[in-house]
Chain A
Amino acid sequence: MDLTQNEKKLLMALGPLGSADPSRLAKLLSAPEEAVIQYAYLLQDRGLAIVERKVVKHFTLTGEGRNYAEHGLPERQLLESFVESIPMAELTRHPLAKIGIGQMRRKGWITIRDGLVEKTGTSGAGDDEAALQDPSEGKKGIDDLLKRGLVQETEEVSYRISLTPTGTALAARGIEIRGETGTLSRDQIISGGWKELNLRRYTVDKLPRRVFPGKIHPYQRLIEEMRQILLQMGFEEIYGGIVQSAFWNFDALFQPQDHPAREMQDTFYLKEQVCLPPVFEKVRDMHLHGGTTSSTGWGGTWSEQKASQCVLRTHSTSLTIRHLADHPDPPVKAFSISRVYRREAIDPTHLPEFEQLEGIVMDEGVNFSHLLGFLKEFYTRMGFAGVRFRPGYFPYTEPSVEPEVYVPSLGWVEMGGAGIFREEVTAPLGLEHPVLAWGLGVSRIAMLRLGLTDLRLLYRSDIEWVRDTPTILPEQIPGGD
């Protein structure tokens, strides 16, 4: 049995006594009484001692109680102040009338009729009056006096510590009490001196000082999780510049040049301009009249200058469309998770920059039903229980779909957009097969998964929040479904 130093000392002190109170043991151990009681409980847990805790209640008269003990309760004094009967008006002038009249009526000593107070004849001394003379525990009537504030209750706790037979036997055998060692030294380890040491025991009841590991940001971990899902699904990752020409950001995606989303109030424009790639003429023709397809195009005019202007990419589709232009042969399965920019004022749910996930599949024979299949697979792997689809609208996809996922606390939540790139988008780039495309706001998922109500916390991080957010989120079981 591994007793601590203090437990041993207490056991040895108790040995010759068998039983003692804490104050005596405290003197023997040179320790505070509270500490002795604590050690005694530890011994009790090991079956070596018994701690008896006795609580004795004492009742003492309050100042008011002492006064009444001497002169009688107010109702008694009041009763004795008149003979058979007295007009109410007169009795109320007595200094104790306020307390006494009610008590006399309650005890049935008087009746009051037509303003006259008459004695009933019963007025024997009650339990309360007896208890007032001798306020000790268990007396009838003491509760009444407590309620009336005439006596007060105090508790006295006393302990008695005794050895059990096992404890007595152990103490009789004798226990060696040696000095304790905290940190092991190199010498003690290599010399074998450790064998003689009494290593200090530590308790595990109290939590240690908090330390914090180096840590990947919780949001980055979520991004990494999505990345891994897409890599596992066979997608190639794309990286590209924050700065894109309006051509790749808008025109190549068949966004008309007068589209509201292209206006200054929604897009961060830059004064820089870049040269257009040779394919721009085909894109221009598509806008003007539908090029060589069955499309009518947008009509109107198309300006090279507008297309050459640089913007901060407003969506990661500017990266996927460039990837397709560079890789026109099937199959292509690619994705990007990158920061995109909107000219929005900052508030808890809107930021001028945030992450967007974008996936594309281009292959012979891929169709709308496959698109729904990829979406369902991705969201299921992200841990969402239900996925459903509604018609949507995006300028560069047709058909378009808005996937929704089921979140127990919120119901169905819109989770991004998807569709098949319009032929007006794919034809000018020489793509001959359908392109399934889908995107989603990564921060939306982060808010759900990390339980955030303010997106700003992701980017202007409170270090304490990062420290406190566990690496494994409660609902996330690695490798689980």
Chain B
Amino acid sequence: MAIITLPYHYLERLTGVDRNLIISRLPMLGSDIERVEDDHVDVEFFPNRPDLFSVEGVARALRGFLGKETGLPEYRVNPSGMKFTVDPGLATIRPILGSAVIRGVSFDEEAILSIMGLQEALHWAVGRGRSKVAIGIHDLDTVTPPFHYLASERTRKFVPLDYEHELTMEEILAQHPKGRMYSHVVNDFPRFPLIVDDLDRVLSFPPIINGELTRVTTETRNLLLDTTGTDERAVRTAVNIICTAMAETGAVIESVEIEGMRWPDLSAAVRYVRTNDCNRLLGTGLSPDEMAALFRKMRYGATPAKEDLVRVEVPCYRSDIMHDWDLFEDVAIAYGYEQFAVGISPTFTIGKPHPVYGIGSLVRQVLTGFGFIEVIPFTLSNEAVMFTRMHRPVPDDVLRVMHPITEDHTLLRTDLLPLLLEICQLNRHRELPQRVFCVGDVVRGVDTFQKTAWVSIHPAADFTEAYAHAEAICRELALPFTVGESEDPAFIDGRRGDILVNGNPAGMFGEIHPAVLNAFELEHSVAAMELDLRALPGYPGSPGTP
């Protein structure tokens, strides 16, 4: 989650709008207000809009949304004359480099906090924890161009940020807090990414840590941006978002030449969209002029073209615009979600329950008719409950999750009966008799299907109760069954039966074995039954297969 802190007076300065109006309208732009404080508001913006991860970006969007300044924000880029070389050895390590020079910044504490917050949010949302993109910001006046992006020896030494002495890059990964946090991104490579200036002084060890040399302070006036990564589109997004946010504060952006290409390119992308497509999607009746005006409110350049086409200029920081519908959503937001007429489509269909749930409902009717109370335990369970305490062997096809969070939840339940006994254990102090049942999914292999089970715990629970109820339930469910001697170790020998349908086992019933009662810390006898609902007439083929 990207939670952005918006200090009121900075935001008011950038937008020229009162804080109360901002707070009331922000949610309708697409955000969740997390906390309203005396001097700031914390707002969660959606991960598809990293351009809103800075106060400057939010102000830019709000100015449009609130009608203070609409249309495409234009960003000039002057050549800086500076160059970057890229070592071909990085091709298999971290090949993409983006950069820019940002001049004339005037950093007060709020601006530094905002830009650091933006950097962190971008690392999370665009950079995937720095693996896809990592951003470094340097004091340009401490270094000498041209700059060099290298695949360096792992033993190269420099003074990392917040340190006073030199460490090798390997030591940084082992000792520096940021090194330990992000070492997994580079640790497997024979050489490490490194950025140096023309005097071979270290600016940065991307994506881990900058050098102390280029530390940014409130005195810093000119910045060099390095953005490295594995995906060019993501690197471009990060560079554009940072540069345009800085330009919003009045800084001047200059380009850097990297292997013959000029970075950054802050020009808008042009798309043509049809007003009719938009109206069809939204159920609106907008004219091309109206739609263009709504686009401009969302900071696009927009002019009606021939027929129902609108020419849309997409700002360079809008990395989320992949498809026409992304643009139409912004039309809807500008139009106002609260303004939409709501109506149900005339689509005619007939409601139809799924047979599996239909059977489940009938089973519930039957079992509540016998006086059982329903419970709905977790489907995640563990070997101890499912098999060990039941004195049952572990089947081969039990499905285990790969990275369980707790010992309680390591596998998917194969049966319901153990979970009912666990519920009885939880309710030991409650009045007897307790008669509970459950209908629900179990998993064998990768297949999901439904079972039902019931238990009855009280001093007089016995095989007779189990058999009588099992017979009655099967009868009510129209199950053509026979009963055979069972060998299920969860039940007492001589007091257990298998329910057979067409000669195949479909369930069992009986009196629970005292050793199992002991394992579940139960003090009274238990009559029980479990039934595989696939045996029922009308249960569909195999709806639960991946």
Contacts and interface: CB of A to CB of B under 8 A. Distances in A.
A206 interface: no
B441 A463 contact: no
Nearest to A229: B351
B345 A366 contact: yes
Nearest to B429: A464
A118 to B, nearest CB: 69
Nearest to A345: B405
B231 A361 contact: no
Interface stretch (B162-170, B209-217, B333-341): B333-341
Interface stretch (B141-149, B318-326, B516-524): B318-326
B289 interface: no
B344 A234 contact: no
A361 B405 CA distance: 36
Interface stretch (A29-37, A103-111, A160-168, A389-397): A389-397
A461 B446 CA distance: 28
A391 B544 contact: no
B200 interface: no
A466 B399 contact: no
Nearest to A272: B446
B436 interface: yes
Interface stretch (B356-364, B481-489, B494-502): B356-364
Interface stretch (B97-105, B150-158, B368-376): B368-376
Given A269-B403, A367-B282, A464 B376 contact: no
B350 interface: yes
B376 A391 contact: no
B349 A463 contact: no
A333 B347 contact: yes
B402 interface: yes
Contact of A373 (B344, B447, B543): B344
A466 B374 contact: yes
Contacts of A240: 448, 543-544
Contact of B323 (A217, A232, A392, A398): A398
Interface in B218-267: 231, 233
A216 B348 CA distance: 32
A212 interface: yes
B333 to A, nearest CB: 5
Contacts of A217: 373-376
A370 interface: yes
Nearest to B352: A236
Contact of B376 (A236, A343, A461): A461
A75 interface: no
A370 B280 CA distance: 11
Interface string A365-387: 11111101110110000000000
Looking at A300, A388, A461, A462, the one whose CB has the most chain B CB atoms below 10 A away is A461
B498 to A, nearest CB: 26
B282 A369 contact: yes
Contacts of A398: 323, 325-326, 328-329
Contacts of A376: 342
Interface stretch (A54-62, A130-138, A140-148, A243-251): A243-251
B473 interface: no
Interface residues of B, number: 88
Given A274-B446, A299-B231, A388 B338 contact: yes
A264 B379 contact: no
A450 interface: no
Which of B328, B374, B406 gathers the greatest number of chain A CB atoms within 10 Å? B374
A268 interface: yes
Interface stretch (A149-157, A179-187, A192-200, A417-425): A417-425
A288 to B, nearest CB: 12
A131 to B, nearest CB: 59
B118 interface: no
Given A242-B441, A363-B345, A339 B379 contact: yes
Nearest to B232: A299
Interface residues of A, number: 99
Interface in B360-404: 361, 364, 367-380, 399-403
B78 interface: no
A466 B323 contact: no
Contacts of A212: 373
Interface stretch (B6-14, B22-30, B175-183, B187-195): B22-30
B375 A461 contact: yes
Contacts of A436: 345
A65 interface: no
Interface string A220-246: 100010010011111111111111110
B306 interface: no
B347 A422 contact: no
B349 A235 contact: yes
Interface stretch (A12-20, A42-50, A66-74, A289-297): A289-297
Contacts of A393: 30, 46-49
B477 interface: no
Contacts of A243: 399, 412, 443, 446-448, 546
A374 B344 contact: yes
A401 interface: yes
B80 interface: no
B343 A370 contact: yes
Nearest to A264: B403
Nearest to B277: A294
Given A236-B349, A269-B401, A393-B30, A462 B340 contact: no
Contacts of B349: 234-236, 331-333
B30 A459 contact: no
B283 interface: yes
A239 B333 CA distance: 35
Contact of A372 (B28, B342, B369, B371): B342
Interface string A328-360: 001111000001010111100001110000000
Nearest to B435: A214
Contacts of A333: 347, 349
Given A212-B373, A217-B374, A296-B322, A463 B427 contact: yes
A377 B376 contact: no
B81 interface: no
A88 B171 CA distance: 91
A398 B328 CA distance: 8
Contacts of B372: 214
A397 to B, nearest CB: 9
Contact of A241 (B46, B325, B402, B448): B448
A449 B48 CA distance: 34
Interface in A431-481: 434, 436, 458-464, 466-467
B526 interface: no
A237 B353 contact: yes
Nearest to A234: B349
Contacts of A424: 322-323
B376 A219 contact: yes
B207 to A, nearest CB: 15
A275 to B, nearest CB: 10
Contacts of B356: 239
A376 B128 CA distance: 37
Contacts of B544: 239-242
B132 A258 contact: yes
18 contacts: A216-B364, A236-B351, A237-B353, A240-B544, A241-B446, A241-B447, A258-B132, A269-B403, A293-B323, A294-B324, A297-B322, A299-B233, A341-B380, A343-B403, A366-B345, A367-B282, A389-B337, A460-B378
A-B pairs with lowest CB-CB distance, top 3: A369-B283, A393-B46, A367-B283
Given A244-B546, A331-B347, A353-B380, 17 more contacts: A215-B373, A220-B364, A234-B349, A235-B351, A238-B354, A242-B448, A271-B402, A290-B323, A331-B349, A370-B343, A389-B338, A389-B340, A391-B30, A392-B30, A423-B323, A462-B430, A463-B430
